[in-house]
Amino acid sequence: MTKPVVLIAEELSPATVEALGPDFEIRKVDGTDRPALLAALADANAVLIRSATKMDAEAIAAAPKLQVIARAGVGLDNVEIPAATKAGVMVVNAPTSNIISAAELTIGHILSLARHIPAAHASLNAGEWKRSKYTGTELFEKTVGIIGLGRIGTLITQRLQAFGVKVVAYDPYVTAARAQQLGVELLDLDELLKASDFITIHMPKTPETTGMIAGPQLALMKPTAYIVNVARGGLIDEAALAEALRNNVIAGAGLDVFTSEPPKDDALTSLPNVVVTPHLGASTDEAQEKAGVSVARSVKLALEGNLVPDAVNVAGGVIDPFVRPGIALVEKLGQVFAGLAGKEALTRLDVDVRGELAAYDVSVYKLAALKGYFTNIVSEKVSYVNAPLLAEQRGIEVTLTTGDESKDYRNTTTLKGILADGTVVSVAGTLSGTKMVEKIIGLNEYEIEVPLAHHHVVMVYADRPGIVAVYGKAFGEADINIANMQIARDEAGGKALSVLTVDSPVPAEILSSVAAAISAEELIEIDITE
């Protein structure tokens, strides 16, 4: 029997090949040699790459037998995921392979800033001996602020304890109980900026977090404070940071990531009070080996037809065909739930599956719900393997219940959660008709029926005449097309819930003006990513 072909397109550790085992034919090719790569892909069932090999639509089309693309690392910029998904090719990476390396590099930047190590090294290399010029500061009894208390933020917290520092954190999705377990004081962002001697950022890069540290935030910091970014380029406004460093608004910065890599100019890298590294967060032998071994195991699972925890575009695994279509729906319901919950921390999430699905193993739905919930919340790439761990780290209790009875639909899945302030949030969905249309059928106990789309606006207000005209006019004047609209109410003259499907994102100022105009109790936009 012919063995499946695994193509290794870049240099990987011997442990990676060992992890694959003897059941595959291993072939190698230089992934940067485009003609050679395309030729080698013709027979490949799986391909293992790092950052240099480009797996775009052309490469995927050249690989008719390809089942899985494995990136031995975290980023996936060199993989065209939509093209892979369309071709039915699974994409996997190693989302947790570099977390220790990234945490340790962060500590290295903090120490380098505190003791001026790079500048002192350069000075001595130049034949100088200027001890007084490089007088530093101790970490002991200083305050370190961590923006984003996910897995990397938690690792940094644990390592900082040995220095005798006070750790404060900003993370709206972490409960006070979890912070207490870590020995961390939760603050709002402005309070953290004012209180900290060192600040390190570990947030996902989203439209909301891009430029989250700009001129006004830097102005809140102590003139003796330092800021570090080893997470994502663009979280700090680089022009504002350069100005703050030049004018001594803050003492210094440590940067491993940049908006453009490599940086287009030396506005930051040439400043004397900045320590820079060329995106070395994952650049350790251990992280590279972990990444290779991790994706090798995923490739083996995929080619053997088992559940692949780190698949970023499909669920994978031995899942009943009747269950599989609902996975994408539940992930999207998780995103809707996160939008409804806002920035309030989640303490409990119940996933309830009703109807014919109850006769099958739907445990993957619990994972899908968590994956969807965390998708736009954490900096890590969320997968089916780390979603439960992310929940555990945040003290979120997760349950799955099933039942045969489904009142109005063949099958329903409901996500119901309790937030830290006691608020109960719920969203229900179903797959409708022969085309399996994904629909929201319930929001916070209101019954609706809205096909899921990329952009929804949800509003709650006192039921009265003229409201539709108000927000319809506002959106029309802003050139925002309303593609669908559903209104539900608890009783005539009571509260009403409107769910709009819009063709494009709604600017924050439009949302604010509409909320004020209709005296909305709640008005939010929920954007759903594929």
Question: Are 4 and 107 contained in the same domain?
Answer: no
For residue 451, is pLDDT > 70?
A: yes
Question: Are 331 and 426 contained in the same domain?
Answer: yes
Omega before residue 272 within 30° of 0, cis: no
Percentage of residues in the chain having pLDDT higher than 70: 96
CATH code of residue 21: 3.40.50.720
Out of 318, 344, 369, a domain closes at: 318
Q: Which of the following is catalytic: 279, 324, 348, 489?
A: 279
Distance set, CA 425 to CA 125, 148, 446 (Å): 61, 23, 11
Q: What φ, ψ does residue 233 adopt, rounded to 5°?
A: -65, 140
Question: Are 183 and 272 contained in the same domain?
Answer: yes
432 compared with 82, residue with greater pLDDT? 432
Strand ordering across the sheet containing 411-419: 397-403, 346-355, 411-419, 424-432, 437-443, 446-451
Q: What is the rounded distance in angstroms from the CA atom of residue 178 to the CA atom of residue 180?
A: 5
Question: Are 47 and 79 contained in the same domain?
Answer: yes
Question: Are 270 and 310 contained in the same domain?
Answer: no
For residue 110, is pLDDT > 60?
A: yes
CA 277: distance to chain centroid? 23
**Tell me, what's the pLDDT at 51?**
82
62 compared with 86, residue with greater pLDDT? 62
Show the DSSP H helices in 87-204 as ranges.
Answer: 99-115, 117-125, 151-160, 176-182, 189-195
Confidence of residue 378 (pLDDT cuts 50, 70, 90): confident
For residue 465, is pLDDT > 80?
A: yes
197-215 burial: b if 16+ Cβ within 10 Å, else e: bbbbbbbbebeebbbbbbe
Question: Are 87 and 105 contained in the same domain?
Answer: no
For residue 314, is pLDDT > 80?
A: no
Out of 390, 419, 452, a domain closes at: 452
Q: What is the pLDDT of residues 192-212, one digit of tens each?
A: 999 999 999 999 888 888 999
Q: What is the rounded distance in angstroms from the CA atom of residue 373 to the CA atom of residue 382?
A: 10
Is the full-model pTM beyond 0.85?
no
CA 419: distance to chain centroid? 20
Percentage of residues in the chain having pLDDT higher than 90: 70
Out of 430, 452, 474, a domain closes at: 452
For residue 388, is pLDDT > 90?
A: no
529 compared with 42, residue with greater pLDDT? 42
393 compared with 256, residue with greater pLDDT? 256
Q: Which of the following is catalytic: 18, 25, 138, 261?
A: 261
For residue 379, is pLDDT > 60?
A: yes
For residue 318, is pLDDT > 70?
A: no
Amino acid at residue number 27: R
Question: Are 103 and 177 contained in the same domain?
Answer: yes
**Is 261 an active-site residue?**
yes
Q: What is the pLDDT of residues 163-178, one digit of tens each?
A: 999 999 999 888 888 8
Question: Are 265 and 183 contained in the same domain?
Answer: yes
SS3 371: helix
For residue 28, is pLDDT > 90?
A: yes
Q: Which of the following is catalytic: 232, 297, 354, 394?
A: 232
Distance set, CA 239 to CA 243, 246, 416 (Å): 6, 11, 43
For residue 381, is pLDDT > 70?
A: no
The mean pLDDT of 426-449, rounded to a whole number, is 93
**Tell me, what's the pLDDT at 385?**
55
Q: What is the pLDDT of residues 215-246, one digit of tens each?
A: 999 999 999 999 999 998 999 999 999 999 99
Q: What is the rounded distance in angstroms from the CA atom of residue 345 to the CA atom of residue 108?
A: 31
Question: Are 184 and 304 contained in the same domain?
Answer: no
Q: Map tokens 């106990």 to a residue.
A: 445
Confidence of residue 98 (pLDDT cuts 50, 70, 90): confident
CA atoms 152, 153, 156, 162: torsion sign = negative
Collect all residues with Cβ–Cβ distance below 8 Å to 321 and sequence separation of at least 6.
Answer: none
**Is 185 an active-site residue?**
no
Largest CA distance in the chain: 83
**Tell me, what's the pLDDT at 204?**
83
For residue 380, is pLDDT > 90?
A: no
Number of domains in the chain: 4
Distance set, CA 471 to CA 173, 257, 456, 507, 526 (Å): 31, 41, 14, 14, 17
CATH code of residue 436: 3.30.1330.90
Mean pLDDT of the chain: 91
Question: Are 160 and 213 contained in the same domain?
Answer: yes
Question: Are 406 and 461 contained in the same domain?
Answer: no
Question: Are 104 and 243 contained in the same domain?
Answer: yes
121 token code pair: 């090294």
Q: Which domain holds residue 165?
A: 99-276
Q: What is the rounded distance in angstroms from the CA atom of residue 225 to the CA atom of residue 248?
A: 10
